[in-house]
Structure 1
Amino acid sequence: MSNETHTRPILVPVDFSSHSEAALLWAVELAKCHHSPLLILHVVHDPGTMQGYYSRALKKKQLHRIEDGAADMLTDFLRTLGKQHPELGKPNDLESLLVKGLPSSRILEIANQRSASMIVMGSKGLTGLKHLLIGSVAERVMHRARIPVTIVKSAPPQTGTDSP
């Protein structure tokens, strides 16, 4: 593996979910080990299956443009993650990017445009009818990407019990 590979960014698409958080935490550690920059991407998309995603998440704020609200959410997501996990320190090189469009297509476009070395992303892991109807962004990216894709899943939240 050449040194050039290490200067190419690791692309981490986020949707502010616990799965995205887990993927970003994993990618930060990977970037530190490989001395790679991180490119954190959020694709602004409010599909018919999730109408009002941004307006519900930002109900206390007055929205002028959906992109402005999404940018605020991205900043808050990264700030909160840094506060909750100070042991991670600051990655060598971190850039965040907000784009509009269809998530799987835009993720692949940005990976290509920025010559990403790999994509690390979370997955909600939809199954059954929901998966058949709307598919999975992570699955579409994984099948169409020309670079390695790592899918990270967070542990399911505990439901008030101390036993596993």
Structure 2
Amino acid sequence: MTDSPATRPILVPVDFSPHSEAALAFAAELADYRRGALLILHVVHDPFSMPGYYGRALKKKQLHRIEDGAAEMFDEFVAAVRARHPDLATLQTAETLLVKGLPSTRILEVAERQAAPQIVMGSKGLTGLRHLLIGSVAERVVHRAKTPVTIVKSPRTRTP
């Protein structure tokens, strides 16, 4: 019996941003339609690359390990997204995975290991100098992935 793309999970890397939530909701709709599965991934990255990223969770409980803060934030993010989208059945039962490393590298490794038929991820869509200085995880994944990658942006809210 061969493994079909519908039985393998769509990989959804998240960074707790509104763009990640939009990507997760999109992927859940797609998985519901395909009767497939989701794997929600967060890569705990080097704190020196983004100082303070996990600071909220670390300060709240005086945790000493960055992984503990990341795991708490990951759990809270997934629970909040599930609560906001109770109609997305696949989202409610999606598996989660927390790994350490460089985000783009680890995303690609997990996609290959899981034989993910697709990667769906959010992107801020930075341009110009900020993009050159910061780089883009999504861009690196798109260029190196062996599987289709869908980039989702959160809807912009207008300020009066």
TM-score by length of 1: 0.89
Cα distance between partner residues in 2 of 1:120 and 1:54: 23
Q: Which runs of 5+ in 2 are unaligned?
A: none
Matches of residues 1-164 of structure 1 in structure 2 within 5 Å?
4-56=4-56, 58-91=58-91, 93-159=93-159, 161=160
Structure 1 gaps of 5+ residues are: none
Partner AA of 2:131 in structure 1? H
Aligned mates of 2:91, 2:98 — CA distance in 1 = 19
Count of residue correspondences: 159
Q: Does the 8 Å CA contact 1:35/1:92 hold for their aligned counterparts?
A: no
Distance in structure 2 (CA, Å) of the matches to 1:99 and 1:13:
11
Q: In 2 relative to 1, CA 6–21 (structure 1 residues): closer, same or farther, beyond 3 Å?
A: same
- Runs of 4+ residues deviating >3 angstroms: 46-49, 89-93
Q: 1:33 to 1:83 in 2, by over 3 A?
A: same
Distance across 2 between alignment mates of 1:60 and 1:127: 34
Q: TM-score, normalising length from structure 2? A: 0.91
Distance in 1 separating the partners of 2:76 and 2:30: 23
Alpha-carbon RMSD across the aligned residues, in angstroms, is: 1.8
The amino acid that maps onto 2:138 is: A
Identity %: 65
- What is the CA-CA distance between 1:157 and the residue it aligns to? 2.7
Contact 1:8 1:36 in 2 (8 A): yes
Counterpart of 1:123 in structure 2: which amino acid? S
- CA distance in structure 1 between the partners assigned to 2:68 and 2:49 by the alignment: 21
